[in-house]
């Protein structure tokens, strides 16, 4: 049974929350267990699997997301405790392979640990959390012990400091407004996206709003059939999409206001699939911005429109220190992305375009011509 078929059958058969709760109870109470695995250990393992964000709280929509993911992994086979145990083994083997590959790439002196000089930016950001013995090095065992890392969002004071720093740099006449001529070359390289009302003048309030949106988990504010979405896509986003679908069945449109990207590619692809399965429309109005994973969320809409002054950003992704365009086109790392875009009815050429348009630490704002060329805009049928 496919994910979309499962979701439709639940929607048609009973209240969403009741269905989710029933599914959780079913999985936790199944008498089957993995061979040679004590029943208590199997059940604890099952709870851990359903708690995908690792916060110790079993949210029903989080559990549903996990069950749908497991169902797809099992390709229609029954969800038994034995099957779950085998899946765990597969996931563990894959994680060990990824960590080994990471060390092969970064451990230049081959001593089995990463010094600060050998860590990439992503690892450095979480060094204090991963380096549990505080010896200044990260070992393979410490990497494997990591479960879920909370987003490293700025707090209110840190956001204020960042905003102050931007105005110190660009607000040359100290009038509290950054004008296009003051930003000069940097206007199109970072300042432009902050200009929400498109008047070529960036106020402190606009910069503050952008930084707040860039430092919170994506939120879905539902009003009159439209969900207004702002924030960063994280491990929790698929469950939040399911929550919106089942608790607000009247929602037909997602208005994406400011979404700079995703901290979890796998979670992002699942959230996008739920949006497409539901047949929702996505729009990015003029003055609003999506980039990276936020652009993927935009492309998940059945119908997709954007304003003339909307910002739709794409760039390459990074894998083991290399941008995606550095890998040969037949490399297996490309497959998940190509498969996603095909399911969103986006041509392969768009994916290769995103890899070449900008490096992983840069962004390319798509033109209206590019959006049309790659099928990113899909207007609703006149008869619908």
Distance CA 265, CA 195 (A): 28
Do residues 16 and 246 make contact, with C-beta atoms less than 8 angstroms apart?
yes
Q: Which fold has domain 216-373?
A: 2-enoyl-CoA Hydratase; Chain A, domain 1 (3.90.226)
Residues 315-360: tens digit of each pLDDT:
998 866 678 888 889 988 899 899 999 999 999 999 999 999 999 8
Most confident range, picked from 26-35, 40-49, 109-118, 315-324: 109-118
Residues forming beta bridges with residue 312, ordered by sequence position: 290
Domain boundaries, the chain: 3-85, 114-150, 156-212, 216-373
Beta strands at 253-259 and 289-291: parallel, antiparallel or unpaired: parallel
Does residue 214 carry a pLDDT above 70?
Answer: yes
Does residue 382 carry a pLDDT above 90?
Answer: no
Residues 66-81: tens digit of each pLDDT:
888 888 888 878 878 7
* Residue given tokens 């060990």 in the structure block: 96
Helix 39-50 vs helix 60-74: crossing angle, to nearest 10: 110
Q: How far is CA 378 from the centre of its chain?
A: 23
Q: Which fold has domain 156-212?
A: Recoverin; domain 1 (1.10.238)
Domains 156-212 and 216-373 share a fold: no
Residues 235-279: tens digit of each pLDDT:
999 999 999 999 999 999 999 999 999 988 899 999 999 999 999
């Amino acid at each position: 049974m496919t994910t979309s078929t499962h979701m439709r059958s639940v929607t048609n058969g009973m209240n969403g929350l009741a269905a989710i709760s029933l599914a959780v109870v079913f999985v936790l109470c199944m008498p089957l267990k993995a061979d040679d695995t004590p029943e208590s250990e199997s059940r604890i393992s099952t709870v851990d699997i359903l708690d995908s964000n690792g916060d110790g709280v079993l949210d029903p929509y989080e559990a549903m997301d996990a069950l749908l993911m497991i169902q797809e992994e099992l390709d229609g086979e029954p969800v038994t405790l034995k099957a779950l145990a085998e899946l765990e083994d597969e996931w563990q083997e894959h994680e060990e392979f990824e960590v080994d590959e990471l060390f092969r790439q970064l451990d230049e002196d081959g001593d089995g640990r990463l010094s600060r000089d050998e860590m990439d930016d992503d690892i450095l950001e979480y060094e204090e959390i991963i380096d549990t013995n505080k010896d200044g090095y990260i070992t393979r065992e410490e990497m494997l012990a990591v479960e879920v890392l909370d987003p490293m969002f700025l707090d209110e004071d840190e956001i204020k400091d960042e905003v102050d720093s931007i105005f110190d740099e660009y607000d040359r006449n100290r009038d509290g407004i950054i004008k296009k001529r003051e930003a000069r070359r940097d206007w199109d390289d970072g300042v432009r996206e902050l200009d929400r009302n498109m008047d070529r003048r960036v106020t402190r309030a606009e910069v503050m709003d952008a930084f707040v949106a860039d430092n919170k988990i994506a939120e879905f504010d539902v009003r009159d059939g439209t969900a207004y979405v702002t924030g960063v896509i994280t491990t929790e986003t698929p469950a939040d999409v399911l929550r919106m679908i089942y608790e607000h069945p009247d929602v037909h449109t997602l208005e994406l206001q400011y979404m700079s990207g995703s901290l979890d590619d796998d979670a992002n692809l699942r959230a996008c699939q739920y949006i497409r399965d539901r047949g929702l429309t996505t729009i990015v109005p003029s003055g609003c911005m999506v980039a990276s994973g936020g652009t993927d969320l935009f492309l998940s809409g059945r119908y997709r429109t954007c304003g003339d002054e909307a910002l739709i950003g794409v760039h390459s992704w990074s894998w083991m220190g290399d941008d995606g365009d550095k890998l040969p086109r037949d490399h297996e790392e490309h497959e998940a992305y190509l498969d996603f875009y095909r399911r969103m009815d986006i041509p392969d050429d768009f994916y290769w375009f995103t890899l070449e348009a900008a490096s992983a630490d840069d962004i390319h704002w798509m033109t209206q011509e590019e959006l049309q060329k790659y099928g990113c805009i899909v207007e609703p049928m006149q008869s619908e």
